[in-house]
C-alpha cells in the first residue's frame, strides 16, 4: 500500500528531527543507551549512510517511538489501536540513484525480531526517483493485512518465492511481492526482481532506482509491541 509515501517523504524531509527522549516505549529497547531516539511523528536522522524515519503517517494512530544504535540496528515501540488502516511505516532508507540497466548488483540482508500479535508487515519499499513506481517486498506479515491490487500468480526470484500483486493507488503503480512463508532473516537479491518487472512483464521501463527502504508497515499494535531490526545491509554496484 503506497499512497502514504509521497506525503511521508515530504513531511519527513520538512519536519525537524525532534528527539523527544525515551520516556515511552524505549524501556523495551536494548539496555544500553541508543545513539538516537525520537517519539516525534516525523522524527528522522541519518546514521552511517542510512536515513531513519519514525513516520507515523496514518489516521487514528497511537503512540510510537523509534531508537537506533546505527542505520542498520534499530527498532520501534508502537501502541496503535486495533482498527483498520495502516498507521505508520517506520523505516531505514538507503539511496541508490542508479538505473536498472546500470546496476551491476542490488542486494540486501535483514535480521529482525517481530511480535507474534498485532497486524503488520515487515517489508522493503523500493521507489524510482520520480515516485511513479513502488515495489514492496513483504518478508513476513501478521494479522489482518493485505496488498493493494490483484493477484499475478507466484514467482521465484532473488532467492525467495513470492505471491505477486499489481495495483495502482491513484498516485503510482504498486507491485507487491509477498513471501510465501514468513522469514525473520535472509538475503534478497533485489536486481532480478526489478529486471523481471521491467523485462519479463514490461510493467515499467529503465527506471532510476532512488530509495530502498526497509521497515514495518503497522496497522495495529494495541498495548504496545516491539519491532527490532537486529541487522540490515543494502549494497549496490
What CA–CA distance (Å, rounded) separates 106 from 87?
29
What CA–CA distance (Å, rounded) separates 124 from 165?
15
% residues pLDDT > 90 (the chain): 86
Q: Would you state the pLDDT for residue 72?
A: 96
What CA–CA distance (Å, rounded) separates 43 from 229?
17
* Range with lowest mean pLDDT among 33-37, 131-135, 215-219, 229-233: 33-37
64-122 pLDDT, tens digit each: 999 999 999 999 999 999 999 999 999 999 999 999 999 999 999 999 999 999 999 99
Report the chain's mean pLDDT, rounded to a whole number.
Answer: 89
Whether the per-residue pLDDT at 222 is higher than 90: the answer is yes
Q: Which domains does the chain have, with CATH numbers?
A: 4-224 (2.60.120.180)
Q: Would you state the pLDDT for residue 88?
A: 98
- Which pLDDT band, with edges at 50, 70 and 90, does 2 fall under? very low
Mean pLDDT of 179-201: 98
| Nearest in space to 52 (alpha carbons), one of 220, 218, 216 | 216
Give the count of beta carbons closer than 10 Å to the beta carbon of residue 32: 7
33-49 pLDDT, tens digit each: 699 999 999 999 999 99
What CA–CA distance (Å, rounded) separates 66 from 53?
8
- Which pLDDT band, with edges at 50, 70 and 90, does 16 fall under? very low
Mean pLDDT of 173-194: 98
Matching residue, cell 493493494: 148
Query: Is-contact 166 196, C-beta < 8 A?
Result: no
Mean pLDDT of 135-144: 97
Residue 34, CA distances (Å) to 63, 64, 91, 99, 130 in order: 19, 16, 16, 35, 34
Query: Is-contact 224 78, C-beta < 8 A?
Result: yes
Whether the per-residue pLDDT at 9 is higher than 80: the answer is no
Buried b (16+ CB within 10 A) or exposed e, 6-22: eebbeebeeeebebeeb
Per DSSP, the residues of 129-192 read TTS-EEEEEEEEEESS---SSEEEEEEEETTEEEEEEEEE-SSSEEEEEEESS--SEEEEEHHH
Whether the per-residue pLDDT at 30 is higher than 70: the answer is no
The alpha-carbon radius of gyration of the chain (Å, integer) is 17
What CA–CA distance (Å, rounded) separates 151 from 79?
31
- Which pLDDT band, with edges at 50, 70 and 90, does 180 fall under? very high
Residue 109, CA distances (Å) to 7, 12, 93, 194 in order: 28, 25, 13, 17
- Which pLDDT band, with edges at 50, 70 and 90, does 200 fall under? very high
What CA–CA distance (Å, rounded) separates 153 from 142?
21
Amino acid at each position: 500500500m503506497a499512497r502514504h509515501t509521497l506525503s511521508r517523504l515530504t513531511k519527513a524531509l520538512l519536519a525537524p528531527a525532534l528527539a523527544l527522549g525515551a520516556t515511552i516505549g524505549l524501556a523495551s529497547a536494548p539496555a544500553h543507551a541508543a545513539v538516537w531516539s525520537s517519539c516525534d511523528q516525523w522524527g528522522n536522522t541519518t546514521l552511517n549512510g542510512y536515513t531513519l524515519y519514525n513516520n507515523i503517517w496514518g489516521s487514528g494512530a497511537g503512540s510510537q517511538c523509534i531508537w537506533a544504535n546505527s542505520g542498520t540496528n534499530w527498532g520501534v515501540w508502537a501502541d496503535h489501536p486495533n482498527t483498520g488502516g495502516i498507521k505508520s511505516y517506520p523505516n531505514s532508507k538507503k539511496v541508490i540513484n542508479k538505473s536498472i540497466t546500470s546496476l551491476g548488483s542490488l542486494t540486501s540482508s535483514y535480521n529482525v525480531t517481530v511480535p507474534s500479535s498485532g497486524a503488520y508487515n515487515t517489508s522493503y519499499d523500493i521507489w524510482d526517483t520520480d515516485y511513479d513506481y513502488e515495489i514492496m517486498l513483504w518478508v513476513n506479515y501478521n494479522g489482518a493485512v493485505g496488498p493493494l491490487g490483484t493477484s499475478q500468480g507466484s514467482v521465484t526470484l532473488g532467492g525467495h518465492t513470492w505471491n505477486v500483486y499489481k495495483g495502482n493507488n491513484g498516485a503510482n503503480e504498486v507491485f507487491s511481492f509477498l513471501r510465501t512463508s514468513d522469514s525473520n532473516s535472509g538475503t534478497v537479491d533485489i536486481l532480478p526482481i526489478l529486471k523481471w518487472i521491467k523485462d519479463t512483464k514490461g510493467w515499467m521501463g529503465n527506471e532510476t532506482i532512488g530509495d530502498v527502504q526497509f521497515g514495518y508497515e503497522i496497522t495495529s499494535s494495541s498495548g504496545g509491541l516491539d519491532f527490532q531490526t537486529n541487522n540490515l545491509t543494502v549494497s549496490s554496484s
